[in-house]
Chains A and B, each alone.
Chain A
């Protein structure tokens, strides 16, 4: 749900990074945080366990500049990926405008990727959203690791609706901004349609 504030001339949109545990959602946000000019970002908040696993969410507010006099602000959230945090994951999808699915390219994590996309589809539905229509980008992360599944095969397995897909290495930033731009663009195009 986009928040349009005519008084302060701001548009606020919410993007959620989804995916199985340890796929690199938080790493995506950390990279974006590190590479964004101080005046364009707010504080990054991570509600994590002592072992640095996301407990509730990470949050990063970003200003992308202005369109037609309106400051365009994106609030990026991650969900906790571990299966048993489903109740928290559901809460974070509330009012979402666009989703990035971060898939772990390692062969051993393919099952977890599939399960997490199903979980995303289900949780979106519970909020009245449809994965088939919501702005959505797919990221194949960890392409630098040795045991990765070929891109074509990952696409065949995980592609949902021919969404824009990006190869990434979130630790070094490869593909991170391309993924973000893609989903942000889709959100703005969606706003234009309304």
Chain B
């Protein structure tokens, strides 16, 4: 059945290390997202699982079978490509049936399963069309059906939503997630979009410079980021330079002392505070200064200055009679946060060698 194990998977191009020893264990039915900026090695990792790139070192095990040296056609993965990669000269039904044909499934059984897969993605009415006669969203559903119909041991999604327009994106994301759960598909997904990853995945793997920085649930990554890169990449984060002084005091480079949570493990690093954890209040004697206010309807953003550092705070927009509604650029303000909102986290490392 479908489990996927990556064991020290590494890819080296000459001197450059594209993927540096990725370890990952994906359970049956789990959706794991590789998340990171372009060039972080996430796509290379996915393509190694599919068999298009041969790892320099490490093992890839699908359903208990070591496939590291197997060609793509012998791996039993179902991949949805970023460009969809439909066969332009074949009808929708023939596209979906291709994998079954390769598995020597008989004609009657094949037709039945094609119809079933197309019903699953709500395209049964378009079976005879050519890919170019479909919209982008429809093409993507064909690509999904084509990969699903062969019941692969591992389902691979390469930036599945990136070619859809913003309105369709969250809807299709939920749809894929629902389908994946219903069919119990073991899935590895690649994305650079944190919202996409947070919304769809059981676990996220944040990568940078070919290395895994952190593996965890959306909550783990957002509330307990392993380093400044994760903190900045998953959600917005204020990162202040300085050093810890005692258990619960963080001294900024400028000399100002700020409260921080004592349980953090890192001695040195940066102070990380999420914008929504920061409170802003008008105060003529306040040490902070308001540089700009951005009214965004439901939310309001305050661009602040505290001890020479630029800080962003986000709150739900205060009610009309709230004194904060009268704040204007240049006003002195009091900036506060709960001690547990400010964590000292280690700085991200540079590229691997």
A and B together in one complex: no
Give B residues with C-beta under 8 Å from A.
none
Give A residues with C-beta under 8 Å from B.
none
